[in-house]
Amino acid sequence: INTENPKIQALILCPTRELGQQIAKHLFRVARYNPGRIFVESVYGGEPIEIQIKNLTRPTHIVVATPGRLIDLLERKAISLTDINTIVLDEADEMLSMGFKDSIDTILAKTNGQRHTWLFSATMPESLNEIVRTYMDDDAYKVEVDVKNVVNRNIEHQYVQCIDTKDKLNTLLEFLRTQGKGRGIVFCKTKDGTQSLAKQLIARNHSAEAIHGDLQQRDREKVMRAFKNQKVQILVATDMAARGIDVTDLQYVIHYQLPEQLEYYTHRSGRTARAGKKGLSISLVTSSEMGRLKTIENELKIQIQKIRRG
- Identify which of 68-77, 141-150, 257-266 has the greatest average pLDDT: 68-77
Is the CB of residue 252 less than 8 Å from the CB of residue 187? no
For helices 67-75 and 49-56, what crossing angle results, to 10°? 70
pLDDT of residue 44: 94
Distances (CA, A) of 285 to 158, 193, 195: 11, 15, 20
**Coil/strand/helix, residue 44:** coil
Tell me which H or E stretch contains 63: strand 62-65
Judged against a pLDDT cut of 60, whether residue 288 lies above it is answered with yes
More confident site: 141 or 280 = 280
All structural domains of the chain: 10-135 (3.40.50.300), 148-306 (3.40.50.300)
Judged against a pLDDT cut of 60, whether residue 227 lies above it is answered with yes
**Coil/strand/helix, residue 148:** helix
Distances (CA, A) of 298 to 62, 155, 306: 41, 16, 15
The mean pLDDT of 81-88, rounded to a whole number, is: 95
Is the CB of residue 118 less than 8 Å from the CB of residue 145? no
- 129-138, 155-164, 189-198, 247-256: segment of lowest average pLDDT: 129-138
In whole angstroms, give the CA distance from residue 285 to residue 161: 5
The mean pLDDT of 71-77, rounded to a whole number, is: 97
pLDDT of residue 310: 61
**Coil/strand/helix, residue 113:** coil
In whole angstroms, give the CA distance from residue 163 to residue 24: 44
